[in-house]
Amino acid sequence: MTKIIVNGREVEADPQKPLIAACHNHGEHVPHYCYHPGLSAVGSCRICQVEVKQGEMPARVVAACRTPVAEGMVVNTDSEGAHGSRRECLEFLLKNHPLDCPICDKAGECSLQDYSFQEAQAEGRSSEPRRKLEKRKDLGDVILLDQERCILCSRCVRFMEEVPKSPQLCIGGRGSHSVVETWQDTPLSGNYQGNLADVCPVGALTLKDFRFQARVWNLTRVPSTCSECSRGCSISVEVLRNGEVKRMRPRPNEDVNSYWMCDHGRFSEDELNRSDRMEPAALRDDAGQLTAADPVDALRVVRNLLSVQSQALFLASPYLTVEEGEALSKLARSCGTQAAFFSPEPNDLRDDVLHTGDPCPNQRGLQEAGLTPMGSEEWAAASSSADCVLLLGERLLDMLGDEALEALPPTQRLVVMECRASDHAAVDVAMGIPNRVERSGTWVNVDGTAGAIRAARSAPQGVRALVELLADLTTTSGQPEEALSS
Amino acid sequence: MNDFLIILIKTCVIYGGLIGAAALMTLAERKFSAWMQLRYGPNRVGPWGLLQPLADGVKFIFKEELCPDGANPWIFRLAPILSAVPAMLTVAVIPFAGDVTLFGVDCGNLSITDLDIGTLFLVAIGGLSVYGVILGGWASNSKYSLLGGLRASAQMISYELSLIMIILCIVAMTGSLDLRAITESQNTGNPLSWNVFSQPLAFVIFVIATFAETNRHPFDFAECEPELVAGFHTEYSSMKFALFFLGEYCAMIVMACLTTTLFLGGYSVPFWEDAPWFIELGSFCAKAGFFAFLFIWVRWTLPRFRFDQLMHLGWKVFLPLALANLLVTGAVISLA
Amino acid sequence: MVIVKRKTLTLAERLYLPEILRGMSITFAKMFKPKVTRQYPEEPLPTNEVTRGQPRLRQLIDGNLACVSCGLCEAACPAYAITIDGQETDRFIEREPEKFEIDMLRCILCGFCEEACPKDAIFMSTELELAGFTRASLKYDIDKLKRTMPELAPRMDYIKRINERW
């Protein structure tokens, strides 16, 4: 560790990292565009200038992202000289950057906007016209490029080279004709394109999926964990005022995902915004129709089933949290059996960056909670011999498929606690539960790192958490009927 | 039978007129106050807002009847009646015009009854109206109402004394308690024979005392909005409040009629001793109307007195003056 | 200590009556003066370009709104009266409002939206009257909010003029 003085404070800095990282680590914010802590530093934007005094030499202004840390450095991030160079740098950047912030989706989280405001650099001296370039350049299914807004920081180019290691972007042209482009306009490919919109400090690279969907200051950000594979990337779920999940973005986490997440996880919000939610409780009536019922009655029916039927099969969804897994195994033990969770086949999305290919985000957590993994064949065998089957947790019906339910023996009773509505003929009792942005809990990822999921919105009216339902079933087993209604 | 019918018709006509006049007075109050403040006043209901009292009446009927928790329900209901009825009863003895002959039928004097002791009746019944105020104030179970009721009763009793002393002067001069006789004694065709010229001091005291007696500005301590919300009728709503309202305006009209009768020659027409009855009635209405207007005019001109000033004025100024006036009147009569 | 010297009153003053009569003569004279009340529905309130009435959206000559649904008025609105949803358009401005709603019951006519708008798309009109039979009917959508340029021209000129001072 190297000792340097930042703004009059002696701090310890990692000599392997540039000066800007040391400043950031100690709470002194230095503006930056081309520098990104997860990427190599090139020093192309020059906005990160700070004043450094070393030894007897006079103080000079240097780019903090390309300056290595040296013992005894005296750094002033707030000096007049540093601010002056930053202002001049901004004037150059704003020379060609269009002033379409009211239209731009980045507005509100745009570094250029923030630093212009911070440095009070709004007006330039140039009277030349701005560059006229392509405003809506299609870069594949995920990304749209606005070449006028680009400040040529080359973060996107470095990201494609360094993280997914598939260099597809480059800066073509020279001088004022430089633009970010792909080879002969080939569309981008790969599972990590979404990160380009995150690394872009301005609104040049934007997600097609999020284009004009919401103003970023209207979004509520809730830290959570990605559900789409057992990597369990830290994400922030961003919801609009009506509770709609508008986008999911990676949250820096050195232990798991560093600064990135894959497109498979990023664009999984459609499933969360589905409107065909299951009723708080539904029972099959005499006419054979599933009709809405009082949750208390539904719970009573389930409890009676569990006390009457000798062979109950508890199958949980792989999306259950550790807490829900514990509650379920407790209930299964009180019924004299062991609960299982559905362990789906690995998919072909596995790569060397983040995606593990295992769609279950809580494989390890559920096993530690006492649940046994169960594949499709085991499920087919176990379900045909059970008197009563309980399917618990979100997306389980989709994973099993309708054929699996049709294969169940007709005498068998089927209880489903799901998010998505189902009117399958085999279902006897159906209860709605909150999905993964409506409840809080813990998932344990493939490396054994715990990741919290947190409720970003409230569950639909009347829907109770699965832990509560399971706890009610456990505590009221074998008790008189009145205890349930109270 | 014929007499009974005539009296019945006269009763209906006079009470109808009284209630109509009271309704008109509420409109006049609002109109005149508006004009004095450079406003228009009610002008939406009917032509020039003439149907406004009707609209107010409908509104009163449809308002919610409230009885405060802890109030004495019977006295609470009785109080508005006690306030309105005496004020309306007293109008029975006031002669509005001389003998009326309609369609060849001699209907007698235009008053409900020609009571020999009309003045006494008037003072006695009028004195009852204080009960309405104090009972309403007490039965509401409210601090404001109670204080308003107390003030009103103190004030009415204080000024009643002076009022009676003044009436006594007139009675002494006329030698009769009959209001018709008092009117006739002034009905000589010469306006100088009106009592206002022989008793100017009594006239001034009487007019001021009527303001206090009817709880009108500048002596409206029974209501006194800044201090007592609305005084004795704070807790009243709907028709019960309307009865208090009616009582107040009837009392004003009665006092205006009484002032006319006692001091301005009642229905007498200047320089026309034997005027037909409808001219006499017009003369009476004009005089009484002026005093009714005076009530409104003073209300929208003067600020309210302080309660101690009111008591000071009543007991230390008006009562000695009225007594002295009575003494001088007696002396003059016995000497002459 | 302050000693207040009170004026000794003359007899006429102590009698009150002359002063009372003087006061009554004043009120009587006022009864015949011209009235100052404005008879509101028949005589509407005078409005000019400074009048800050309900906010309205400016329509361009081609009939489209000038609004790009940037959401600044929504963010500036202290009463949370404005709700905007944007959508993509083929026009040059790329983004236009899909839904632009002002809850007139919440609007406090403060004019912050007009001040915040970077595109001169929202202006305070001279329209002040607001009445409806349901709350929902007073949630104005684009159709109720849009106004042509001539209708908003005086206010636009006024805003331009006062902004030139800075």
What are the tens digits of pLDDT across the range A300-324?
Answer: 888 888 887 668 889 999 999 999 9
The confidence score (pLDDT) of residue C8 equals 85
* Residue A225 forms part of a structural domain: no
Mean pLDDT, rounded, for A245-269: 92
3-class state of residue B4 by DSSP: helix
Q: Tell me how long chain A is.
A: 486
Contacts of A136 in chain C (CB under 8 A): 94
DSSP H helices, chain C, are 11-14, 17-30, 72-76, 112-116, 142-145, 149-164
Residue type, A347: N
In this complex, the residue of C69, C75, C119 whose CB is nearest that of residue A217 is: C75
Residue A9 main-chain phi, psi, to 5 deg:
-115, 130
The answer to whether the Cβ–Cβ distance between A107 and C70 falls below 8 Å is yes
Number of domains in chain A: 3
The answer to whether the Cβ–Cβ distance between A211 and C88 falls below 8 Å is yes
Report, as ranges of residue numbers, the positions in chain B whose pLDDT lies below 70: 1, 107, 222, 224-225
* Residue A248 forms part of a structural domain: no
* Residue A253 forms part of a structural domain: no
Point out the domain boundary residue: A92, A113, A134: A92
The neighbouring-strand residues paired with C102 are C82, C140
- Judge contact between B262 and B195, C-beta under 8 A: yes
CA separation for the pair A479, A483 (Å, rounded):
7
Point out the domain boundary residue: A170, A191, A212: A212
3-class state of residue B73 by DSSP: helix
Name the one residue in this structure whose structure tokens are 């609209």. Answer: B55
- With vertex at residue A204, the alpha carbon angle to CA A201 and CA A207, rounded to the nearest 5 degrees, is 95
3-class state of residue C147 by DSSP: strand
In this complex, the residue of C75, C87, C93 whose CB is nearest that of residue A103 is: C93
pLDDT tens by residue, C37-89: 888 888 888 888 899 999 999 999 888 999 999 999 999 999 999 999 999 99
The confidence score (pLDDT) of residue A476 equals 61
Chain A closest-CA separation from residue C141 CA (Å): 18
Same domain (yes/no): A321, A383: yes
**Is residue C125 predicted with pLDDT exceeding 80?**
yes
CATH of the domain at A161: 3.30.70.20
The region that residue C86 occupies, defined by phi over 0 for left and psi between -120 and 50 for alpha, beta otherwise, is beta
Torsion of CA A468, A471, A472, A474, to 10 degrees: 160
Instruction: Give the B:C interface size as CB pairs under 8 Å.
Output: 36
Instruction: Identify the band that residue C166 occupies on the pLDDT scale cut at 50, 70 and 90.
Output: low
DSSP states along A104-119? -TTTTS-HHHHHHHHT
The answer to whether the Cβ–Cβ distance between B301 and C23 falls below 8 Å is yes
* Residue A299 forms part of a structural domain: yes
CA closest to B297 among chain C residues = C24
CATH of the domain at A460: 3.40.50.740
With an 8 Å CB cutoff and a minimum of 3 pairs, decide whether chains C and A touch.
yes
* Residue A78 forms part of a structural domain: yes
The confidence score (pLDDT) of residue B224 equals 67
Same domain (yes/no): A166, A313: no
Mean pLDDT value across chain A: 89
With an 8 Å CB cutoff and a minimum of 3 pairs, decide whether chains A and B touch.
no
Same domain (yes/no): A138, A86: no
Same domain (yes/no): A295, A437: yes
CA separation for the pair B37, B39 (Å, rounded):
5
Chain C closest-CA separation from residue A214 CA (Å): 7
Chain C closest-CA separation from residue A172 CA (Å): 26
* Residue A84 forms part of a structural domain: yes
In this complex, the residue of C20, C27, C34 whose CB is nearest that of residue B300 is: C27
Same domain (yes/no): A366, A416: yes
The contacts of residue A309 (CB under 8 Å, 6+ apart) are A387, A388, A413
Same domain (yes/no): A476, A379: yes
Contacts of C70 in chain A (CB under 8 A): 101-103, 107, 215
The confidence score (pLDDT) of residue B64 equals 87
- Burial class of residue C38 in the structure, from the number of CB atoms within 10 Å of its CB (0-12 exposed, 13-18 middle, 19+ buried): exposed
Domain of A318, in residue numbers: 282-485
The confidence score (pLDDT) of residue B182 equals 87
- Judge contact between C117 and C82, C-beta under 8 A: no
Q: Cα dist. A316→A175, A283, A322, A466, B140 in Å?
A: 59, 20, 12, 11, 70
Q: Cα dist. B307→B208, B219, B313 in Å?
A: 15, 8, 10
**Is residue A188 predicted with pLDDT exceeding 80?**
yes
Q: Tell me how long chain B is.
A: 336
* Residue A159 forms part of a structural domain: yes
The confidence score (pLDDT) of residue C38 equals 87
Q: Which one of C17, C31, C43 would you mutate to disrupt binding with B, by most B Cβ within 10 Å of its Cβ?
A: C31
CA separation for the pair A284, C111 (Å, rounded):
57
**Is residue A92 predicted with pLDDT exceeding 70?**
yes
pLDDT tens by residue, A290-305: 889 999 999 988 888 8
Same domain (yes/no): A432, A339: yes
The answer to whether the Cβ–Cβ distance between C23 and B38 falls below 8 Å is no
CA separation for the pair A137, A185 (Å, rounded):
9
Instruction: Identify the band that residue C10 occupies on the pLDDT scale cut at 50, 70 and 90.
Output: confident
Q: How many helices (H) and strands (E) does chain B have?
A: 13, 2
Same domain (yes/no): A323, A448: yes
Same domain (yes/no): A78, A197: no
CA closest to B218 among chain C residues = C20
CATH of the domain at A69: 3.10.20.740
The confidence score (pLDDT) of residue B44 equals 87
CA separation for the pair A75, A6 (Å, rounded):
5
Task: Please give the sequence-ordered ranges of beta strands (E in DSSP) within chain C, or none if there are none.
Answer: 55-58, 82-88, 95-103, 122-124, 139-140, 146-147
- Burial class of residue B310 in the structure, from the number of CB atoms within 10 Å of its CB (0-12 exposed, 13-18 middle, 19+ buried): buried
Same domain (yes/no): A66, A131: no
The answer to whether the Cβ–Cβ distance between C34 and B301 falls below 8 Å is no
Same domain (yes/no): A87, A140: no
**Is residue A477 predicted with pLDDT exceeding 60?**
no
Q: Which one of B30, B37, B305 would you mutate to disrupt binding with C, by most C Cβ within 10 Å of its Cβ?
A: B37
Same domain (yes/no): A64, A131: no
pLDDT tens by residue, C85-99: 999 998 888 899 999
CA separation for the pair A96, A111 (Å, rounded):
16
In this complex, the residue of C68, C75, C87 whose CB is nearest that of residue A103 is: C68
| C68–chain A Cβ distance below 8 A for any pair | yes
CA closest to B317 among chain C residues = C15
3-class state of residue B319 by DSSP: helix
The confidence score (pLDDT) of residue A480 equals 43
3-class state of residue B58 by DSSP: helix
Chain C closest-CA separation from residue A140 CA (Å): 18
Mean pLDDT, rounded, for A23-29: 91
Point out the domain boundary residue: A189, A212, A235: A212
- A partners (3+ CB pairs within 8 A) are C
* Residue A275 forms part of a structural domain: no
The contacts of residue B77 (CB under 8 Å, 6+ apart) are B240
